[in-house]
Amino acid sequence: MKIGIDRLSFYTSHYYVDLKTLATARSVDTDKYYVGIGQEKMAIPSPDEDVVTLAASAAYPLMAAGDLEDVELLLFATESGIDQSKSAGIYVHGLLEMSSRCRCVELKQACYSATAGIQLAIGFVARNPTKKALVIASDVARYELGSPGEATQGCGSVAILVSANPRIMAIDPECGYYTEDVMDFWRPNYRSEALVDGKYSTMVYIHALVESWKQYAELTGRSLTDFDRFCYHIPFTKMAEKAHQKLCRKTKVDVDAEQMRALLDESLRYSRITGNCYAGSMYVGLTSLLDSCEEDLAGKRVGLYSYGSGCVGEFFSGVIQPGYRSVLFSDQHRNLLENRTELTYQQYEDIFNYGVPTDGGDYVFPQYKTGAFRFSGISQHKREYESLVE
Ligand code: HMG
């Protein structure tokens, strides 16, 4: 039985900062961002968006299409949790009016957790083939103002429906995975911005890739030339390019610049203009590939590398299914990305510093441009959400 991705919906905030604006504010050459790290824009959530509203807005098109009816497992992957006890997924479950016969839990392991979610969901569907699982990756990537990581910030969410006989991608059973206790990136509970050893993190990302690949290659007998495209975890687009170059060198596969572009470029387009969205980043890459690629990818194998600092890496793969184009949300994604509002530097800094109040008081948040749901305030220590769906 084939099991894999049946639907894939991406959502990000309606506001962004052009990295030219950030470069001017930081007295840095714009090309350091545009060329050096390969990023042009970073998506910034308004004060009335959080991982719940981003997630609910990503999953809303699935609800509207009637695709959530058989979902009995909701896995919410995030490292931007809003509560130490209650899963953010339960708020989403409520906003989307899902059936109460559903398991719901939050998963955390930096940017890796959505892939753990997909693999757990595959196990669930193998045992319950008529049922579906919804994996939602949702994060807000925040680094300190003026820090090297600042230009890689972003936010976004991807809702991934996992089922038997999937209409988009059948996931192959073999995977290579690698865990090691390292401190390349982390966020203690008392901080709202991540701490990171930037250069070291890029080395660990690649080390975990090479180790995961070795296992995958041994299990499958495949080589890098057996793939039509690759999707990498994308903290910034240059990282994915460097990782693939390194893997090619390690495995003695020659790729010139044109071949590299053909293998990776389509998967990097959305991240280049939205930034890192942690748990969802690799799936934003997959969405970008499927939406952007002019060639029919049906029957083609895509290599997938997921990485979460701390660290866990996993290399796995999937085969694109015939007719996949008819179930994509490409028009909605393009429409969202083309109709965002640019922030000035001052607006960005004001939003950054606004944060979510932590004094235990009651608040009503002003309304900004959001998707189908908004974080409207806090009352008696409880977050309040509003549905804008008519
Ligand atoms: P930096 O140290 O300020 O940048 O920040 P740099 O000085 O190394 O410059 C970056 C590149 O731009 C260099 O190219 C420069 O040469 C080039 P490279 O040597 O790497 O090829 N450059 C220019 N190019 C053209 N024109 C110019 C110019 N100036 C410089 N004028 C760093 C880089 C990655 C450290 C920073 O962005 C950072 O700390 N990022 C956050 C950490 C990160 O993203 N790590 C990635 C791997 S870990 C991961 O992916 C997990 C993560 O998603 C978290 C999770 O799992 O939850 C982060």
Mean pLDDT per 10-residue segment, the chain (390 residues): 98 98 98 98 97 98 97 98 97 98 98 98 98 98 97 98 98 98 97 96 98 98 98 98 98 96 98 98 98 98 98 98 98 98 98 91 94 96 94
- Quote the CA–CA distance of 287 and 291 in Å, as a whole number: 6
36 Cβ closer than 6 Å to some ligand 1 atom: yes
113 Cβ closer than 6 Å to some ligand 1 atom: no
Active site residue 333: no
- Quote the CA–CA distance of 171 and 317 in Å, as a whole number: 6
- Quote the CA–CA distance of 317 and 296 in Å, as a whole number: 18
> Rounded to the nearest whole angstrom, what is the distance from the C-alpha of residue 198 to the centroid of ligand 1?
7
Q: Of 49, 104, 106, 111, which residue is the catalytic one? A: 111
Q: Which of 32, 112, 200, 233 to mutate to test the pocket of ligand 1 (most atoms within 8 A of CB)?
A: 32
For the CA of 79, the closest atom of ligand 1 is: 57
> Rounded to the nearest whole angstrom, what is the distance from the C-alpha of residue 237 to the centroid of ligand 1?
10
305 Cβ closer than 6 Å to some ligand 1 atom: no
Q: Which of 40, 108, 115, 152 to mutate to test the pocket of ligand 1 (most atoms within 8 A of CB)?
A: 152
**What's phi and psi for 238, nearest 5 deg?**
-60, -30
> Rounded to the nearest whole angstrom, what is the distance from the C-alpha of residue 306 to the centroid of ligand 1?
18
pLDDT at 387: 95
Q: Which pTM value belongs to this model?
A: 0.98
The residue count of the chain comes to 390
198 Cβ closer than 6 Å to some ligand 1 atom: yes
Q: Which of 139, 126, 166, 11 shows the shortest CA–CA distance to 81?
A: 139
**What's phi and psi for 73, nearest 5 deg?**
-145, 125
307 Cβ closer than 6 Å to some ligand 1 atom: yes
Q: Which of 78, 202, 277, 307 to mutate to test the pocket of ligand 1 (most atoms within 8 A of CB)?
A: 202
> Rounded to the nearest whole angstrom, what is the distance from the C-alpha of residue 148 to the centroid of ligand 1?
7
pLDDT at 355: 82
Is residue 166 a contact partner of residue 122, using CB atoms and an 8 Å limit? no
Residue 1 burial (CB < 10 Å; 0-12/13-18/19+)? exposed
Nearest CA owner, ligand 1 atom 24: 36
Is residue 279 a contact partner of residue 114, using CB atoms and an 8 Å limit? yes
pLDDT at 360: 95
pLDDT at 390: 78
Query: Could you give the C-alpha distances from 27 to 42, 142, 144, 283, in angstroms and in order?
Result: 18, 20, 16, 33
Number of CB atoms found within 10 A of residue 29's CB: 10
Nearest CA owner, ligand 1 atom 48: 201
- Quote the CA–CA distance of 134 and 67 in Å, as a whole number: 10
Query: Could you give the C-alpha distances from 204 to 199, 211, 218, 261, in angstroms and in order?
Result: 9, 11, 21, 24
Is residue 325 a contact partner of residue 337, using CB atoms and an 8 Å limit? no
Angle at 306 between CA 1 and CA 208, to 5 degrees: 120
Task: Note the maximum CA span of the chain.
Answer: 60
How many Cα atoms within 13 Å fall on the side-chain side of residue 282? 27
33 Cβ closer than 6 Å to some ligand 1 atom: no
Query: Could you give the C-alpha distances from 235 to 188, 224, 277, 300, in angstroms and in order?
Result: 20, 22, 8, 25
32 Cβ closer than 6 Å to some ligand 1 atom: yes
201 Cβ closer than 6 Å to some ligand 1 atom: yes
Is residue 74 a contact partner of residue 93, using CB atoms and an 8 Å limit? yes
